[in-house]
Structure 1
Amino acid sequence: MTANLLPGQWTPFNGSQLNNRRIFFHETSGSAQLNLQQSCAVESAAKHNPDRPVQLFLRPESTEGCYSSDGSQSSLFYRPVWLEILSQYPNVAAILVNEDRYFAGSPLQDWYQNGRWLQSQHQVAHLSDYIRILTLYKGGGLYLDTDILTLKTYDQGGDMFRNCLVYGSGRMEVFSNGVIHLDAGHWLSAEIIRLLAEEYDPEAYAYHGPALVSEVMGRKCGVVAGNSNSNHCKDVKLLSDRFFYPIEAPFSDVIFRDNNNTTDVMATLVKIRNSYGLHLWNSLSYVHRPVEIHSNQIFSLLARQHCPLTVARAADF
């Protein structure tokens, strides 16, 4: 992204951008906006992985807003602070998705077009679950939720982050779909897509995400809950929760607590020292304290190191 990117110059998606080494995010709320934590997440991925393309897919409020009548891009969107920040990283592209075109011709086209998902109270979550897998199948790469703060380069582990799933907790019962890498056309994404097309349940919040991934791995690869050694699929690696989920949901308040107890702060930092990313649990933001970027919050301490440009513009969010 160039530093002087204009609103009408949002990057359109095209096949030349497909890359198994890419890191990508989907923001599916329809606001085409990022909050401070989300901007920090994308910046941290770009900062620590300068040799990898980082793609941020955004959903406009209406599909028609992506393109004008002559097929060129619309100037519907203004230039928000997060775009100014991310524009300073040459490996980042912000991409407005024309969903009609994106789902067209795919096994999920009928699901998207019949619109049952639009009637669900979980429509944003369901669209997110569906489109991330479709993106993996189309072009491969490392998908990250927009509340994953990157702490290290993903090249440091060699091929560790290629064709991998991550456990969402130390109990190793369910895989997260918030961090997942698959090469383009991988059988796992193809199988998940097949089931997503056949078994949509508008009332189920989590089935189309972690539960479905875990079900497929159990059926196809013999994975037994609590036993990572039970996996007999050699082309899918299983990573422990410590890589991205060292702090589980019930204890996530510690990330945003303004803690003046140096011992407690150091203990938490030691806990995440060997992690490659930290899940910030944005979905639980209603129980978290507001971000205080110059405080002793764990998030604030990490943000100053891993997303310095976002921190410098914190007052503008």
Structure 2
Amino acid sequence: MQRCLKILVFMVILIVLAYLYRAELKETTMQYLTLSEDNVFNALKSKLNLALNTTIKMHIEGQGKDNTSNIASKYLNPFDVLRGENGVIFVETTDRMQPPSLVLCAVESAARVYKDRPVVYFMKGLNDTDSEDAVRKYLPALSSLKNVYVFPLRMEEVFKDTPLLSWYKKVDPKREVYWTHVSSDGCRLALIWKHGGIYFDTDIISIQKIPHQYFLAEESSQYFANSAFGFPSHQEFTWKCMEDFVRHYRGAVWGYQGPNLITRIFNQYCPAPSGNEAVDTVCGNITCLLIKRLYPISYSAWKRYFEVWDKEPTFGDSYALHLWNFMNRDEHRTMVPGSNTLVEHLYQKYCPSTYGLTGKNNMV
């Protein structure tokens, strides 16, 4: 069925292209008579490319509400998809092409909670040529979601026109202790600077919409997190974060380019919240989310997600749940179907497609 739909879509595209070409031919025949053969070819190629891009965009934005919507990854770029500054962004800075189920759950849950927004997953290991096939092969749980887009993560391109490019050209990843993490810290800042929207780590399960455009989330009474934040594009705050990232770079210190950096820059604007507030506070136009909004279970108690509860929390005051995957790096705990653990119930409710495929196709 999916193959038939794709064939039908491309037949429609070809018909539209033929019509546009015929209309353009009348208008430009006399013009092309005065051009060389190469110029004629280039001019026609340019017009056909424009027509193709326009047609694909129309299909995705209008008709593209079916399983063929992931063809967008082949024809659009992140600026096309994220132009509304309301996207949800995830980043993968390793080369792995078979993400664990928690990553897929994070992306799926965001796509279900933010149904009216594009959810974009940038993957370092993805190549241009395998974008559509990769979604089907490596990310089957995401292939049916209408608003999920997958793009290659090219760091030099991401850092271009930001303070981070000079750092990236000088740094030696092989000598970095936390390269996967600090490169991710940089990418999220640059992507939000360019595109705006919300950034989430891939171990955060979304459970309801965050109702703020500008926000930071308290991780503890001392620090803001950089695992989730939201800003419009080209905001002074994110630019200052990138400048500080480069000026005071200390990649060997865990969190220095992440929560520590976000907290340092915030403290230049406002005094840090005490962590004892009863409601979210506002500093200028930045909403400071209470700890319970994303971190109702603290990092020191992260194992509770993988345990059976007598009475599970409802998380009624939370927008998302951070599962603290870094804390799990040695034990490698996963969601096990049938375990009756809290994390299993979260999968069942917020990422049912991922849950249904966990244990199949070597997904863990």
TM-score interval, normalised by the smaller of the two chains: 0.7 to 0.9
Note the alpha carbon deviations across 1:163-206, whole angstroms, 9 max, x for none.
1000113xx21001011001101111011011112121131121
- Alignment RMSD: 2.6
Higher relative contact order (CA 8 A, sep 6+): 1
Which of 330, 336, 342 is 1:298 aligned to?
342
Residues 15-30 of structure 1: pairs in structure 2 closer than 5 A: 15-18=79-82, 19-30=84-95
CA drift of 1:47 comes to: 1.0
Note the alpha carbon deviations across 1:68-91, whole angstroms, 9 max, x for none.
xxxxx3238755655222121111
Q: Percent identity?
A: 24
Residues 209-220 of structure 1: pairs in structure 2 closer than 5 A: 209-220=258-269
Say yes or no: does 1:110 pair with 2:158.
no
Matched-pair contact (CA < 8 Å) for 1:166–1:176: yes
Matched-pair contact (CA < 8 Å) for 2:251–2:257: no
Matched-pair contact (CA < 8 Å) for 2:225–2:259: yes
The answer to which structure has the higher helix fraction is: 2
Aligned to 2:16: none
CA drift of 1:222 comes to: 2.8
Matched-pair contact (CA < 8 Å) for 2:73–2:150: no
Unaligned residue ranges in structure 1 (runs of 5+): 67-72, 155-159
Which of 131, 150, 155 is 1:94 aligned to?
150
Aligned to 1:194: 243
Unaligned residue ranges in structure 2 (runs of 5+): 1-63
TM-score (norm 2): 0.74
Aligned to 1:269: 313
Secondary structure of the structure 2 residue equivalent to 1:26: strand
- Residue identity matched to 2:166: D
Note the alpha carbon deviations across 1:40-82, whole angstroms, 9 max, x for none.
111011012210111111112xxxx73xxxxxx3238755655
Residues 220-235 of structure 1: pairs in structure 2 closer than 5 A: 220-223=269-272, 225-226=274-275, 233-235=283-285
CA drift of 1:281 comes to: 1.3
Q: How many positions carry a matched residue from both structures?
A: 293
Aligned to 1:283: 326
Larger radius of gyration: 2
Matched-pair contact (CA < 8 Å) for 2:136–2:143: no
Say yes or no: does 1:31 pair with 2:101.
no
Residues 107-256 of structure 1: pairs in structure 2 closer than 5 A: 107-154=163-210, 160-169=211-220, 172-223=221-272, 225-226=274-275, 233-256=283-306
Say yes or no: does 1:75 pair with 2:139.
no
Secondary structure of the structure 1 residue equivalent to 2:121: strand
Which of 41, 46, 53 is 2:111 aligned to?
46
Cα pair distance change 1:292/1:231, threshold 3 Å: closer
- Residue identity matched to 1:132: R
- Residue identity matched to 1:163: Y
CA drift of 1:226 comes to: 4.0
Matched-pair contact (CA < 8 Å) for 1:151–1:278: yes
Matched-pair contact (CA < 8 Å) for 2:87–2:198: yes
CA distance in 2, matches of 1:255, 1:182: 29
Which of 122, 132, 151 is 1:57 aligned to?
122
CA drift of 1:240 comes to: 0.3
Secondary structure of the structure 2 residue equivalent to 1:111: helix
Cα pair distance change 1:104/1:252, threshold 3 Å: same
CA distance in 2, matches of 1:280, 1:11: 34
Matched-pair contact (CA < 8 Å) for 2:113–2:206: yes
